[in-house]
């Protein structure tokens, strides 16, 4: 059994125990099924979305999702809050420990141009068709970093993003004043970042809150998972109370 299918088998068991919808949304290169998890899928009034594993070598996101599902009974989830999760957005990359998909393309640069959409991009976006997402969070690792930072959109919501950075500072040092893609991080936040990513696309689709968190890759896996879970918990509580 390959690494991806081994991970999926554990995730299926976890979802089954919690009576969650574990839905196949397509096949990638014939051999790699792509899935989403839906929590409170019926009659919900507000929807949030988490995506991980779009860069296959960044493993803390998918591991966090598995831990989140296993611990789901610890969360006070209101029935009016729907949660959509893409646990591994790039199954081929996850299995081969690669940033890229089976076509050697970076999926996270192809969401915003209809002519560049790849198979995975199309499945992911189609799966969100007619969904009105309130908060979108893409979980990433920066494998070369010892510091945390995030990409965010809509300056009107910067105060919320600052709260996330402050929470993370309990786990990791924050990246200050690093230039990337022509922009400089302001106290850990790259604001108004445009790169064709999933979170960029969701912002263009009028999602009020859209972020990508970059957990420092040069740290212990269990600490990365704990930090990601803390961010997820914050987003759930924030979205529940808005």
CATH number of 36's domain:
3.40.630.10
Predicted TM-score (pTM) of this structure: 0.96
Among residues 40, 128, 120, which one has the least CA distance to residue 88? 120
Cα 59 from Cα 63, distance rounded (Å): 6
Q: What separation in angstroms does the CA of 63 have from each of 117, 150, 160, 166?
A: 27, 19, 25, 23
Among residues 196, 151, 189, 194, which one has the least CA distance to residue 169? 189
Instruction: Residue 90: give the domain boundaries.
Output: 3-240
Q: What is the mean pLDDT of residues 63-72?
A: 97
Q: What is the mean pLDDT of residues 2-13?
A: 96
Q: What is the mean pLDDT of residues 63-90?
A: 95
CA torsion sign, 106 to 144 to 139 to 92?
positive
Q: Please report which confidence band the pLDDT of residue 136 belongs to, taking 50, 70 and 90 as the band edges.
A: very high
- Look at the chain and report how many structural domains it folds into: 1
Catalytic residue numbers, as ranges: 214
């Amino acid at each position: 059994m390959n690494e991806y299918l081994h991970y999926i088998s554990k995730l299926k068991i976890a979802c089954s125990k919690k009576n969650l919808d574990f839905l196949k949304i397509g096949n990638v290169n014939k051999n790699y099924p792509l899935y989403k998890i839906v929590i409170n899928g019926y009659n919900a009034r507000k929807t949030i979305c988490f995506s991980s594993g779009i860069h296959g070598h960044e493993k803390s996101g998918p591991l966090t999702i598995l831990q989140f599902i296993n611990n789901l009974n610890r969360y006070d989830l209101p029935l009016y809050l729907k949660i959509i999760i893409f646990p591994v957005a790039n199954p081929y990359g996850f299995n081969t420990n690669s940033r890229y998909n089976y076509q050697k393309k970076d999926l996270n640069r192809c969401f915003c141009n209809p002519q560049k959409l790849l198979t995975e991009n199309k499945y992911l976006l189609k799966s969100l068709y007619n969904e009105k997402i309130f908060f979108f969070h893409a979980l990433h690792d920066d494998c070369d970093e010892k510091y945390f930072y995030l990409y965010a959109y809509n300056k009107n919501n910067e105060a919320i993003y600052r709260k996330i950075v402050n929470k993370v500072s309990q786990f990791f040092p924050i990246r200050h004043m690093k230039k990337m893609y022509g922009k400089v991080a302001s106290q850990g936040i790259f604001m108004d970042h445009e790169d064709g990513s999933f979170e960029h696309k969701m912002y263009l689709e009028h999602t009020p809150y859209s972020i990508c968190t970059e957990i420092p890759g040069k740290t212990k896996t269990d600490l990365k998972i704990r930090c990601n879970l803390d961010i997820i918990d914050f987003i759930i509580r924030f979205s529940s109370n808005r």
